[in-house]
Structure 1
Amino acid sequence: MAFTYFFRDLQTLQMIIDHMLPSILGKTHIDIWSAGCAMGQEPYTIALLLKENMGAMIFRNVRILASDIDHSNLFGPIIAKGSYPWGELKRIPDEFFTKNFSPDPDKPGNFILSDEIRNRVTFKRHDLLTCKPPKDNFSLISCKNVLLHFTEEQRIKVIRMFHEALVDGGFFLTEQTQKMPPQCEDLFEQVIPYAQVFRKLPAPF
């Protein structure tokens, strides 16, 4: 099973949220796609950071789609319950943890996210290689530790799909080791020189 932890790559996530906030404040719906979400640590981290940065009222407009091919059929129930062992939570700053987690009465050693956070995240099984997005008009797409498993041709097709699924000026985030293919460089501008954070450019004619 894939393993990760909460607040991984925190500096990059905080930077992209800071860049994105001016463009999403005032929107009725703020759609975010965490593609290749595994057990939900990253989409929930994004939710926690957004709540802290935008306030509870605006946070209600956030809808995070967490997707994964999920051959194990395990990720959906884990994300729906929002219960995680302490080992995956220990990097969370105290101010986030105390406000958003409580002990899981059914599983000692686990902690459950608050309804306020869990209600913002929905899981959907999805295969990126279909090159068909589950929906469109995303303000942010995060896809980390997935593209490296694809061929160069597959990466190009998937990144082009992400471009089509983003709103104008929307953001795309991938892992630091994954460089933008030259064939896609006219689709995005890199907004943070030392991180793989990109903003959608209008499609070339």
Structure 2
Amino acid sequence: MLQDRSVGDVPLTEADFDAISKRVREASGIVLGSSKRDLVYGRLRRRLRVLGITSFAKYLSMLDAPEGAAERVEMVNAITTNLTGFFRERHHFEYLERDLLPHLPRQGRRLRIWSAGCSSGEEPYTIAMTLHRSMPDLHAWDARILATDIDTEMVSKGAAGVYPADRIAPVPAELQRAHVHQLDGSTVRMGDDLKALIAFRQLNLLDSWPMRGPFDAIFCRNVVIYFDKPTQRALFDRFADMLVPGGHLFIGHSESLFRTCDRFRHLGRTIYQKLR
């Protein structure tokens, strides 16, 4: 049986943890197993301090109150893991540049890419840099990148496009020179040419989707690992519906469509192509 965890006078009981897990799942679809107990405690303990609440039971009552809607958003923001980086899983962007973009239909010159679960924006900015580097005639295309995340704070950070200078170390030097501006010795800003390609929006992937698509590629990396299999199955099916025929889906290195969705073929290294 799990033991209570506490710091100071604020314990997280097993019942509290189960109740919080239930509310997180209802709000976001994220499944929190017992291994996430310490993470939940550490992140929500900070919310209790901010709010001046002295117990998780009182916090749960606040969440359930009519005025608790705003705090339910803050709860999901606090729980969501935001591990990301520029050119993370670089082979995905190499495939985008080498194999996907050169074979786009020239008729209409329309390009749509969705970064689903974009966190603080490094992924969509990396996609934008890849487009600029690999498409000399990008200015002649109707090209757009949709970047969405459930975490409102991350969406705002991505839209601002301002990062600690050490975060851009993985960005090739020529792309830094072309698209990244130094604000001071410790801070950089993404260029307006990148920002012009990207629309940042808050979106819960389990809710209805306002966009119509279709997309040429969807990046949804290290997101579905937090969902159970039925939720993954439904989400991958919706992604397939939003892709053009033969469109591509990029997922995280620890994720797989095996025995989950048969509407894609695996091209290797967590890159999938829509079959139907």
TM range (shorter): 0.7 to 0.9
2:90 to 10, 18, 40: 10
1:100 to 179, 187, 195: 179
Which of 52-61 and 143-152 deviates more? 52-61
Aligned to 2:196: 119
Q: Give how far 1:124 is off.
A: 0.9
Instruction: Give the direction of change, closer, same or farther, for the CA distance of 1:155–1:82 in structure 2 (3 Å limit).
Output: same
Does 2:207 match 1:130?
Answer: yes
Aligned to 2:57: none
Aligned-CA RMSD value = 1.9
Aligned to 1:140: 217
Instruction: Give the direction of change, closer, same or farther, for the CA distance of 1:59–1:115 in structure 2 (3 Å limit).
Output: farther
Q: Give how far 1:131 is off.
A: 5.7
Which runs of no fewer than 5 residues in structure 2 stay unpaired? 1-80
| Cα separation, 1, equivalents of 2:265 and 2:97 | 16
Instruction: Give the direction of change, closer, same or farther, for the CA distance of 1:14–1:149 in structure 2 (3 Å limit).
Output: same
| Cα separation, 2, equivalents of 1:151 and 1:183 | 11
What are the within-5 Å matches in structure 2 for residues 22-171 of structure 1?
A: 22-26=102-106, 27-58=108-139, 60-70=141-151, 73-104=152-183, 108-130=185-207, 132=209, 134-171=211-248
Name the structure, 1 or 2, with higher relative contact order (CA <8 Å, separation 6+).
1
1:164-189 deviation per Cα after TM superposition (whole angstroms, max 9, x unaligned): 0001111000012111142412x111
| Cα separation, 2, equivalents of 1:129 and 1:94 | 38
CA contact (8 A) 1:16 1:197 kept: no
| % identical aligned pairs | 28
| Corresponding letter in the other structure for 1:164 | D
Instruction: Give the direction of change, closer, same or farther, for the CA distance of 1:57–1:16 in structure 2 (3 Å limit).
Output: closer
Q: Give how far 1:11 is off.
A: 1.8
Instruction: Give the direction of change, closer, same or farther, for the CA distance of 1:47–1:38 in structure 2 (3 Å limit).
Output: same
| Cα separation, 1, equivalents of 2:140 and 2:127 | 11
| Cα separation, 2, equivalents of 1:18 and 1:94 | 19
Which of 132-141 and 41-50 deviates more? 132-141
Corresponding residue SS for 2:138: helix
- Greater Rg by CA: 2
CA contact (8 A) 1:131 1:157 kept: no
Q: TM-score, normalised by structure 2?
A: 0.66
| Corresponding letter in the other structure for 2:170 | R
Q: Give how far 1:18 is off.
A: 2.1
| Corresponding letter in the other structure for 1:8 | R
Q: Give how far 1:25 is off.
A: 4.9
Q: TM-score, normalised by structure 1?
A: 0.87
| Cα separation, 2, equivalents of 1:180 and 1:54 | 30
Aligned to 1:201: 275
Does 2:259 match 1:182?
Answer: yes
Q: Give how far 1:41 is off.
A: 0.3
Which runs of no fewer than 5 residues in structure 1 stay unpaired? none
| Cα separation, 2, equivalents of 1:133 and 1:174 | 22
Corresponding residue SS for 2:124: helix
Count how many residue pairs are aligned between Structure 1 and Structure 2: 195
1:148-201 deviation per Cα after TM superposition (whole angstroms, max 9, x unaligned): 00000000000000000001111000012111142412x11112x2x0111111
